[in-house]
Structure 1
C-alpha cells in the first residue's frame, strides 16, 4: 500500500506504507521530490518481534510498567488508516485526520 499526503507546505509519498515486503531492511519515502531511504539491520518483521519481546521481558522479568507511548501510537496509526479508508469510500476525496 502506498500513501501520499498532500499538505499546504509540501507532499509526502511513502512506498509500502503498512509493511515492507518480507526481508526488506530499508524503506523509502519521498518529501516533495527528494527521495529519502531509512535502513535497518533487520527487516521490519524481525524488528517488531524483537521490540515486543523486549517489552514483555521488561514487564515480566524486570518488573517494569508497560510503556505509555504504544496506545497513543496505535491510536494515531488507526486514525490514519481510517482516514485512508474514508477517502477511498468517498471517491478519493481529501479527508481530515482528527485526533
Structure 2
C-alpha cells in the first residue's frame, strides 16, 4: 500500500507503507519547500529519500515494544508511557481530518 501526503509546505511518499519490500529496512521520500523553476520547466529541489534500517521485522518490533511497556508497568511499577497514547491520538486526528475532507468534497480541514 502506498501512502502519499501532500501539503502546502511539502510532500511525503511511502511506497511500502503496510508491507515493506524488505524486512530489514524501509524507505520514504519527502520534499520540502519545492517551487517551480523559471518558465515552469521543473522544480528547484528533488525529493530526498530516507532509508531506515531495522534489526527485526516491524511486527516483531511492535510485540517487543508492547512487551517492554507491559513489563515496565507490571514488574517495575513504572507509569504508563504517554508517548504511545499521544502518538495514536495524533494519528487518529489526522485520519479523521482526511475522512472529513473527503466527505466535504476534498476541501481543507483544520486540525
- TM-score, structure 1 normalization: 0.77
Cα RMSD of the aligned pairs, angstroms, is 2.3
Gaps of 5+ in 1: none
1:2 paired residue number: 2
Alpha-carbon distance in 2 for matches of 1:86, 1:16: 25
Gaps of 5+ in 2: 32-46
| Cα shift at 1:8 | 2.6
1:47 equivalent in alignment to 2:56: no
Asked if 1 retains the 8 angstrom alpha-carbon contact of 2:101 and 2:109, the reply is no
Asked if 1 retains the 8 angstrom alpha-carbon contact of 2:3 and 2:15, the reply is yes
User: Whose Rg is larger?
Assistant: 2
| CA spacing shift, 1:10–1:23, aligned 2, 3 Å | closer
